[in-house]
Structure 1
Amino acid sequence: MTPQTLAAEATTAEVWALTEGDTLLACMILTPKPDHLYLGKLATAPDHRGRGLARRMITHAEARARALHLPALQLQTRIELTENHATFHRLGFHEIARTAHPGYDRPTSLTFAKPLTPQGDLP
């Protein structure tokens, strides 16, 4: 993504970023849907991975979903990014669908969901 595509996304969705000075550490795009908050383009700078930034971003996405009275988060990831799948499982997501991009006869993406409990309730 470029700054221009992020700016375009910001017209219909929420763009969130973690920075340190002028350095972009992590970012995500949150798009409200009727029954969930879609978490798109979650990314962490390669030299800042393993520091809990994705967890911080997802925790913020959960807070935004609750504020919007949405009961779940959803995201998609490419099927070959198995390290991401493991991370999302550790963060409480579970796989709900497999889809294929046009022209492919096999799944190319996985959809993950994380149901949310209201803030203050015990899981």
Structure 2
Amino acid sequence: MDENQGIIREAAAEDAPQLNVCMQKAYMAYEERMKGKRLPPMDVDYEEEIASYPVWVIEREGEIIGAVILTFDPSCTQVANIAVDPDYQGRGLGRKLLNFAEQKALDRGYVEMRLATHVLLTENAAFYTSMGWEEVGRDDSRVFFKKSLRIKGK
């Protein structure tokens, strides 16, 4: 990754406060659309997330500007959360984080990934589709996606 865009690294416990700020900024951008409702990632204890799940952050000049949180279920890798600070969006960081997550899944032998986004976050759905993800369902508040991963050379 271009160091001007930051470096992806595994999160440490001391990153929790900055990670929380990054996530708050990322999800507050949707506050008006959500009519005052808070999206679940806004109420997460990021110290607990870092302790419990694989979390990677993008750090640029000492500032956390994005992150991806994964879970590795028996059948697939789940993207539990992915976000980029709005001040840094539009620079390909979300794409880099998602590609990084896909590589982590492949490194662990997974051939499928899944994620969900809120139905009102239509630009997220369009982004995932552009990255090769397939919509596989909806409920009242979420759109569900999956992606089949290809192991290099196969």
How many angstroms apart in 2 are the aligned matches of 1:44 and 1:5? Answer: 18
Partner of 2:152: 119
Shift in Å at residue 33 of structure 1? Answer: 0.8
Out of 93, 110, 113, the position equivalent to 2:143 is: 110
The structure where helix makes up a greater share of residues is 2
Structure 2 alignment gaps of length 5 or more: 1-18, 22-43
Shift in Å at residue 11 of structure 1? Answer: 2.7
Q: For residue 72 of structure 2, what is the amino acid of its counterpart?
A: P
Partner of 1:52: 92
CA contact (8 A) 1:72 1:114 kept: yes
TM (normalized to structure 2)? 0.69
CA contact (8 A) 1:71 1:116 kept: yes
**Deviant stretches of 4+, over 2 Å:** 1-4
The structure where strand makes up a greater share of residues is 1
Q: For residue 149 of structure 2, what is the amino acid of its counterpart?
A: L
How many angstroms apart in 2 are the aligned matches of 1:59 and 1:28? Answer: 11
TM (normalized to structure 1)? 0.85
- RMSD over aligned CA atoms reads 1.7
SS of alignment partner, residue 35 of structure 1 = coil
How many angstroms apart in 2 are the aligned matches of 1:18 and 1:116? Answer: 23
- Aligned-residue identity in percent: 28
How many angstroms apart in 2 are the aligned matches of 1:36 and 1:57? Answer: 18
Shift in Å at residue 40 of structure 1? Answer: 1.8
- 1:68 correspondence with 2:68: no
